[in-house]
Structure 1
Amino acid sequence: MVHHAIFGSLGRMIAILLEHHGGMLPFWLSPDQIAVAPISKDQVGYGADVLAAFEDAGIRAVAYDGTDTLSRRIVAAHEMAVPVMAIVGGREMRDGRVSLRERDGSQADVPLAEAVSRLQARAQPCAPVAKAL
Structure 2
Amino acid sequence: MTMDRRSVLRALSGAVVAGIALPRMAWAAWSESAMKASESTAAMAELFGSADNQASAEVKLKAPEIAENGAVVPLEVSTSLPVEQIAIFIDNNPSPLAMTATLGAGTAGLVKTRVRMGETSNVVAVVKSGGKLYSASQEVKVTIGGCGG
* TM-score normalised by length of structure 1: 0.29
| Higher Cα Rg, which structure | 2
Structure with greater helix share of residues: 1
* TM-score normalised by length of structure 2: 0.27
